[in-house]
Amino acid sequence: MKPLTIWISRTEWIRFALTADPPNCLVPVTGGTFIHTLFNRGHKKLIYKIKSSNNNNYRITPVFGFIDPSERKKITVTRTGGAQKCDKLDKLVIHYAFAPVDATDARTSFPDVTPFESVTILLITY
């Protein structure tokens, strides 16, 4: 294999190491609870942090975490009732990086890493 081909295949592996299922969510304006599954398709343990564009109406559990290779982890998204935003869609952005080898607490370890990619889940309110 030529060096460029190896580089492309490795960067694609890093870029898509983490996926979310479902990738989007239809959310009633009255609220509700929804489950999404994160999947580490890579070969290294990942650390993640989830950010929300609307912390007034959404709660995410867990916000920080680790995902081992080939592991699936469920996250819970809860929307409280509230007015729908007309000017933009709400979203969750999951930033991730390779987990430090000695890390045991994702919340305290995440500031020490540099996320190399993110996954976005659109929260479409109706």
| Run of H or E including 23 | none
Report pLDDT digits (tens) over 16-61: 689 999 999 998 888 999 999 999 999 999 999 999 999 999 999 9
**Structure pTM?**
0.84
Residue 121 CA to residue 20 CA, distance in Å, equals: 7
Alpha-carbon gap, residue 83 to 61, rounded angstroms = 22
Give the Cα separation of 93 and 53 in Å (integer).
8
Q: Is 2 left (phi over 0), alpha (psi -120 to 50) or beta?
A: beta
Query: Domain limits of the chain?
Result: 18-125
**CATH class of the domain at 18-125:** mainly beta
Would the pLDDT of 2 be above 80? no
Give the integer Cα–Cα distance in Å for 48 and 94: 6
pLDDT computed for residue 82 by the predictor: 77
Task: Read off the amino acid at residue 91.
Answer: K
Mean pLDDT of 75-100: 89
State the pLDDT confidence band at 81, using cuts at 50, 70 and 90: confident
